[in-house]
Amino acid sequence: MVNSSILLSITTFAYLVCTVFYLAGAVFRFTPLLSLGTAFALVSLGIQTGGILLRWIESYQMGYGHAPLSNLYESLVFAAWAIMVIYVVLERRIGHKVLGVFPSLFAFLAMAYASFSKGVDSRIQPLLPALKSNWLIAHVVTCFLGYAAFAVSVGISILYLLQRAHKANPHPKGIFALLPNQKELDEFNYQMVLFGFMWLSLGIVTGSVWANSAWGNYWSWDPKETWSLITWLIYAALLHARTIQGWRGKRVAWLSMIGFACVMFTYFGVNFWLSGLHSYAR
């Protein structure tokens, strides 16, 4: 009988195949492979969506009855899903399939870590008392949509810096022959950062309201809250520098990468190294 674990395991390998197609199509400048990458991205998303919904149903069948967003495993699965949803929408809008290399890779790495790491428990478990709130879905979804947009942004930033390093080559090869020009990459990067910033802002607001209803105060300077604020400030500085100071290109790309490093620490570093209300540290 098919269950959510089987579908999500299939998703892990499907994202790997998707990454291979995108990378091979970019390296060998063979657009049919890029199209296969997009096809596998859509198929993988369909399978993963089915797995997430089935896991939700299974939690009700086990008597727990909660959205699959409550632990490290489920958040990694949702992060991979959100990254690919945002990327597929972006690709459909701009038409540059070569940008799929990094989003598909990030989605695969998230799923691989969730599936194969001994430190990640994939069992469906009852909610902790503090998590039994209608704010759970709103807070987690908004934060992770922001994180996912930043993941797509950092992939574009890496490609921008690679493109910039090879701009003097009059006959670019491999991935550089298919990449959008630097101006387009800079604009795509800005759009993803702005999109992610709006969702992260909403995530911080929903988290504050939830904290007030659960613990009686909107902000407690918990490590996760503090690092979320640091992340928010970095991306706010990026948007300010681009809009007001006219920053473009290289500086924005590097700020995007610094911001995403903070995202990763907020998610992994705080969870495992710093003890707090949001962490798994002991």
Q: Is residue 13 part of a domain?
A: yes
Q: Which of 13-17, 169-173, 221-225 has the highest mean pLDDT?
A: 13-17
Which of 123, 147, 168 is a domain's end point?
A: 123
- Interatomic CA distance for residues 151 and 64, integer angstroms: 32
pLDDT tier for residue 173 given thresholds of 50, 70 and 90: low
113 and 91 share one domain: yes
Work out how many domains the chain is built from and give that number.
Answer: 2
104 and 215 share one domain: no
pLDDT, greater one: 8 or 216: 8
119 and 155 share one domain: no
Decide if 275 contacts 281 (C-beta within 8 A): yes
Please name which of 222, 199, 118 lies closest in space to residue 151, comparing C-alpha atoms: 199
Q: Is residue 7 part of a domain?
A: yes
Q: Share the mean pLDDT of the chain.
A: 89
**Which structure tokens are listed for 220?**
């407690």
142 and 282 share one domain: yes
- pLDDT the model gives residue 260: 96
Q: Is residue 128 part of a domain?
A: no
Is the pTM here over 0.75, yes or no? yes
- Interatomic CA distance for residues 60 and 20, integer angstroms: 37
What is the largest distance, in Å, between two alpha-carbon atoms of the chain?
63
- pLDDT the model gives residue 171: 57
> Which tens digits make up the pLDDT trace of 25-63?
998 888 999 999 999 999 999 999 999 999 999 999 988
10 and 114 share one domain: yes
- pLDDT the model gives residue 168: 57
18 and 138 share one domain: no
**Which structure tokens are listed for 74?**
């489920």
Which of 101, 123, 145 is a domain's end point?
A: 123
The letter for the amino acid at 101 is V
- pLDDT the model gives residue 282: 41
Please name which of 150, 239, 138 lies closest in space to residue 192, comparing C-alpha atoms: 150
* Full domain range(s) for residue 114: 1-123
62 and 179 share one domain: no
Which of 77, 105, 123 is a domain's end point?
A: 123
